Amino acid sequence: MEQLNTFLKNITADKDPVNLYIPIEYILSQQGKRLRPQMVYLGTELFGGDKECALYPAAAFELLHNFTLIHDDIMDKAPLRRGKPTVYQKWNTNIAILSGDALATLALQTILKTPCEKDIVLDLSLLLSQTSIEICEGQQYDLDFENIDSVTIPDYLNMIRLKTAVMLAGCLKAGAILAETSERNKELIYDLGINLGMAFQLKDDLLDVYADDHLFGKINGGDIKENKKTYLLLRAMEDASPEQLARLRYCFSAAEDNFEHKFTAVKQLYEELNVKEKTEELIGQYVDNALNNLRNLTNISESAAAILQDWIIVLSHREK
């Protein structure tokens, strides 16, 4: 990742106006898991592609990812990201919006510079732009759900597929496109990314309630505080008795000055309804689907496949 980190650092080096580029440097320097670029590299290696060329789509997807984080934090009113103040908190909302917009454009610029055949660059650019549009669609659904009482579990799963899973799927497929593997392999690796992304987001939902907040880097119960409709809440509402449902609705509708009390009450209901176990079961189903996708790939590097298999398991069992 050293080459990628240097590449990303150079994107903002000595650029003006500083109030546009310093926030970009700030969020990129935090690095996080660098999961998306690693998936581009892994997808490339899996099908025997040129890892030097992979630098550009890897950087592009990381730029696009950080664009979504900046804007997502504004919409969620999130004070922390990766244990540090979010961009809009450290500067202001207007600066954060502009920096996010610039990141999205830098992502497209970067992928267009990929040193390979023009038809491959076109396919990569179309993939990046489609991923960006779908993420926006998912984000809009997420916002819409805040004002809709009748959100179903399938509605929610479709939303997180768009908002989260398509990014991982796009990263893996970018590597497959670079390597010029078969169309069937491209479809399978994309589906693998979708299944992995679904497991990843459901795990994120679970960690919001059950994680060690010092490890997680975000405040426990943020989704509950913002009355967000997560899988945990929707699962609880679907399985609750009339009395439990009334308690849940009260927690999420009543004016609550004491967040600790609200968080404790909701968590208690989740535990009564075995929501944690049911969420872990669904995560397991997506993990099994991803592993099945992996088994059906052909003409692949066995060492890269072993790494990807480990990633699937690790990401589904992460604690932060």
Give per-residue pLDDT as tens, 248-269.
999 888 666 788 889 999 999 9
**Residue 135, CB-side half-sphere exposure with 13 Å CA sphere:** 24
- Between 30 and 165, name the one with better pLDDT: 165
Q: What are phi and psi of 80, to 5 degrees?
A: -130, 145
Q: Determine contact, residues 72/207, Cβ cutoff 8 Å.
A: no
Beta partners for 23? none
Owning domain of residue 256: 2-316
The yes-or-no verdict on residue 46 having pLDDT over 90 is: yes
Q: What percent of the chain has pLDDT over 70?
A: 97
Residue with tokens 């670029």: 37
> CATH code at 55?
1.10.600.10
Rounded mean pLDDT of the chain? Answer: 93
Q: How many residues does the chain have?
A: 320
The reported pLDDT for the residue numbered 76 is 82
Q: Which pLDDT does position 284 carry in this prediction? A: 96
Enter the pTM of the model.
0.93
pLDDT: which is higher, 275 or 225: 275
Please say whether the beta carbons of 239 and 276 come within 8 A: no
Cα radius of gyration rounded to whole Å, the chain: 20
pLDDT in tens, 141-199: 999 998 888 899 999 999 999 999 999 999 999 999 999 999 999 999 999 999 999 99
Q: How many domains does the chain have?
A: 1
pLDDT at 32 over 90: no
